[in-house]
Amino acid sequence: MSTETKTDLDIDRSVGDFRYEMDYAYDAGVGLTEATIDYISDVKGDPDWVRAFRKEGYRKFLEKPMPTNWATKDLDNIVFENIRYYLAQGQQASRSWDDVPAEMKETFERLGIPEQERKFLAGVEAQFDSEAAYSNIKAAVGEQGVIFVGSTEGLKEHPEIFKKWFGKVIPSGDNKFSALNSAVFSGGSFIYVPPGVKVKHPLQAYFRINAQNFGQFERTLIIADEGAEVTYMEGCTAPKFETATLHSAVVELVALKGAKIQYITVQNWSSNVFNLVTKRGLAHEDAEIKWIDCNIGSRLTMKYPGVVMKGKGARGEVVSIALAGDGQHQDTGAKMIHAADNTTSNIISKSISLGTGRSTYRGMVHVPKHLKGCKNNTECNALLINSHSRTDTYPAISVRGQGNAVQHEASVSQISAEQIFYMQQRGLSEAAAMSLAVNGFVNDLVQQFPMEYSVELKRLIDLEMEGSVG
Amino acid sequence: MTLTELSEIKVAAIAESGVTSEAPVPAANWPEWFRRDQQAAWADFLSIPEPKRTDEPWRFANLKALDLSDYTEASEVENEEALVARSTGFENIAAKLIFANEKLIQGETAGLPEGVLLLPLEQAAREHEVLFKKHFMSTPVRLGSKKFAALHRARLRTGAFLFVPKGVVVERPIEIWHWVSGENAAIFPHTLIVLDDGASATVIDRFVSASGERSLAIAVNDLTLGVASRLSYVGVQDWSRKTTAFHLNTTEVEKNSTSTALQMNFGGSYIRGESDSHLLGEGSRSVMLSINPADKTREIDQRTFQDHFSPRATSDLLYHNALADASRTIFAGLIKVEEGAHETDAYQKVRNLMLSDEAEANSMPGLEILADNVRCTHGATSGELNEDELFYMLARGIRPEQAAQLIVRGFFGTVLERLENPTLEEQLGLILDRKLNL
């Protein structure tokens, strides 16, 4: 189908496209220097080791070049001096929505967070700019010994578990943006699930950027002890500003022997957000880490969730859906590092490019020497809607030695004219037919999301597709 | 002469004619304008920076192999007759050129149809200046080896030039031999092929070392196909085990023409291959094939580009690597569909057969699609010998080593079939059998 573009991408964003004037009690000002880091550390009352960790991250951030030798030149449009690195109303997240400041509460009410919490979540954390405004966990879950708090509270209240894994899965010098996050991180979740505890309902975090020129740098650490199971979901929105906003998170997952972690993201940032996120999990013996990732919003997303399969029989999986509309670049993918025998990994990626949108898959699969019985399967499918849409695939696969099986398949296609014709014959409009075809393309992946999310996803895709045929 | 004196002389000789340190002496037999061109290329070589680890076109590559400082200009060979006698390849060929150390030592062109030109490059530059200038290294080197292509351009002394005029079909293959001889000798083989509209030809490039000596070869081939022409090109690379070699290709395919190119890599210690196909015309087709039996500590590093500029063109890439011992392969391929190249059909597949625990295969199959209504697929697989097939053969009394070789032979055979040329397939199959000791 060679159709010209006429997409209206703002429709679905109206949900998140509002903001409140806030008087922030804590503001680190504009730009990043060592003084900014000291300010953040002072305000948050960081222990000395955290302050040192931040400074080390800052040094590495300055040292590291922009990865524009392989990544898009659009990164050069981020002006680090113009960003506000820390904005907060208070330091302590409220346990009850009644104690949340009115504007923040209203923000989250409009986004439907408290309602969802009542309906189907085991715990919620809601972050407003730099700090969590609300954090609560259902009593029954808390009684099982599950810890679900913000990263600041986690490092202060549970240093014995926190320190052991913090920065271990993703060293601060992993890349320029993980270094930046290490320097100025604030907010994010700390979760610990004790041995054998299976958290039935998902825990959720919601990230909201409210202020212009603001950079959000949350840091999440999830540890599932032996045999534990947990599902974590995150959502995010921001109003549409005139200038670009930066979101650069670091998420570390640790699944100990036999544990299972599912991490679900529905990213719907407004189309001026640079979303540069580092996510990686460490899977011990027989553990399983699964990233379910959906990227619909942002100007540029660079995100390659990874799993390091450290223990025998560990399993890693990435399921990824990306929708790149006009002016958007979804640069997503996966990293699978096999580091023990009989580890298996699976990557399924589907992307849709419409209008002038560009979707990119980047993958890395690594099977080092002397491992046996490792398996990887990678499938990437890209769908192009308009003649100016673009899609790229850049996998890198390294295999050493025999006794392992690795396969990668990718294809690029478009909606077949026959399909559309068939549906139109049966009385559907062309737009409805397109929408149906696109939903069909991603349907098998959408079903992997929890019910509430998959319904929402279908609606988002419908809206994004609206007006794309003309 | 004492031993110390001998070694001093050797050191002096290296310093004098090092191919990367000493400016080339202007080539005799070449027109003045080409000599100036070579000087400019030398300046380019000096100014282009060395590849770095962070350069994407050199990802995974072993950059140590790129130190070319101790290679020297190849001097004329003394045993020309012996090399001519050893240049026995295909049966029933139309023509044969034999080059040794940058010099044409024999040419048989009597079997060519009228109007076909098969000349040493310098003669083509003198007598067919327009044609030469239009096609000689006329497209920029885009896959990483810009610096080494500049060195090639600055230092080459001769090469093969083939021009097939409009509508002329050269039925039988043309065979071109490139010999290198001498310790640390460097040569710069070049094959320039221009097919006019409706023309057709088959060309076999043979790359051989006179002995097991260490040497450097930077080979370039430019393949230009006019409208509705057909070219089959095969490079049979059999350098010594100590040779560092670059094989840089550019193919330009015009409307409704078909290029089928196969590179077989049997020799060398470090091989860098770059194949850049430009699908310029509607309905053009480029088939890119490679057969790579890798063993010992050899490294075969191949980068490819299938660049679709026009609608309804087809490209089809199939690379098979069999990795034994501590060998290493790198495959980085890109299919690019430029804006407006609708209804493109592009395919890319690399298969790695792992025969040892020490071997390492790196695959980077890439896609960049800027047009819609395309069908582009790529795949990369890494696996080991099929246990069932092995068992089947062992049950029939075939020895394990031979059974493995037979499977490898079959694995490569599927690539040969893609030539869709039974005669070529048979003759190249014989070379393959010999190389695999079957």
Neighbours of B47 (CB within 10 A): 9
Query: Model confidence over A257-267: pLDDT tens digits?
Result: 999 999 999 88
Q: Nearest-CA distance from A272 to chain B in Å?
A: 23
Q: Nearest-CA distance from B93 to chain A in Å?
A: 41
Q: What CA–CA distance (Å, rounded) separates A320 from A301? A: 13
In this prediction, residue B73 has a pLDDT band, given cuts at 50, 70 and 90, of very high
For residue A75, give every residue at least 6 positions away whose Cβ sits within 8 Å of its Cβ, in sequence order, or none: A66, A67, A68, A274, A276, A300
Residue B303 has pLDDT above 70, yes or no: yes
Domain boundary assignment for chain A: 12-465
Q: Nearest-CA distance from B271 to chain A in Å?
A: 18
- The beta strands (E) that lie in A73-208 are given as 87-88, 123-128, 131-137, 147-150, 189-193, 203-208
pLDDT (0 to 100) of residue A9:
32
Residues pairing with B72 in the sheet: B18, B185
Residues pairing with B107 in the sheet: B97
Contact between B69 and B18 (Cβ < 8 Å): yes
pLDDT (0 to 100) of residue A94:
80
Q: Nearest-CA distance from B309 to chain A in Å?
A: 14
Residue A8 has pLDDT above 50, yes or no: no
Q: What CA–CA distance (Å, rounded) separates B308 from B337? A: 5
Q: What CA–CA distance (Å, rounded) separates A297 from B402? A: 57
Q: Is A418 on the interface with B (CB under 8 A)?
A: no
Residue A296: which H helix or E strand, with range? none
- Say which residue the tokens 């990483």 belong to: B144
Collect all residues of chain A within an 8 Å Cβ-Cβ radius of residue B384. 402-405
Q: Chains A and B: how many Cβ contacts under 8 Å?
A: 141
In A, minimum Cα distance to B363 occurs at A397
Contact between B38 and B23 (Cβ < 8 Å): no
In B, minimum Cα distance to A394 occurs at B366
pLDDT (0 to 100) of residue A1:
37
Give me the residue from A386, A397, A400 closest to B359, CB to CB: A400
A54 φ, ψ (degrees, to nearest 5): -65, -45
Query: Model confidence over A423-432: pLDDT tens digits?
Result: 999 999 888 8
In three-state form (DSSP H/G/I as H, E/B as E, the rest C), the secondary structure along A5-73 is CCCCCCCHHHHCCCCCCCCCCEECCECCCHHHHHHHHHHHCCCHHHHHHHHHHHHHHHHCCCCCCCCCH
In A, minimum Cα distance to B375 occurs at A413
Residue A188 has pLDDT above 60, yes or no: yes
B407 φ, ψ (degrees, to nearest 5): -65, -40
Are A409 and B384 within 8 A, CB to CB? no
Q: What CA–CA distance (Å, rounded) separates A238 from A274? A: 11
Q: What CA–CA distance (Å, rounded) separates A228 from A39? A: 38
pLDDT (0 to 100) of residue B13:
44
**How many residues appear in chain A?**
470
Check residues A387 and B364 and name the one with the higher pLDDT: B364
pLDDT (0 to 100) of residue A467:
59
Give me the residue from B356, B361, B369 closest to A391, CB to CB: B369
Task: Determine the average pLDDT of the residues in B103-129.
Answer: 96
In B, minimum Cα distance to A411 occurs at B377
Rg, Å, chain A Cα set: 22
Q: Angle at Cα B212 formed by Cα B208 and Cα B217, nearest 5°?
A: 45
Q: Nearest-CA distance from B49 to chain A in Å?
A: 15
By the 10 Å C-beta count (0-12 exposed, 13-18 middle, 19+ buried), A118 is classed as: exposed
In this prediction, residue A464 has a pLDDT band, given cuts at 50, 70 and 90, of low
Collect all residues of chain A within an 8 Å Cβ-Cβ radius of residue B364. 394-397
Query: Model confidence over A280-306: pLDDT tens digits?
Result: 999 999 999 999 999 988 999 999 999
Are A405 and B352 within 8 A, CB to CB? no
Angle between helices A430-446 and A451-465 (to 10 degrees): 150
Task: Determine the average pLDDT of the residues in A366-377.
Answer: 92
Q: What CA–CA distance (Å, rounded) separates B370 from A392? A: 9
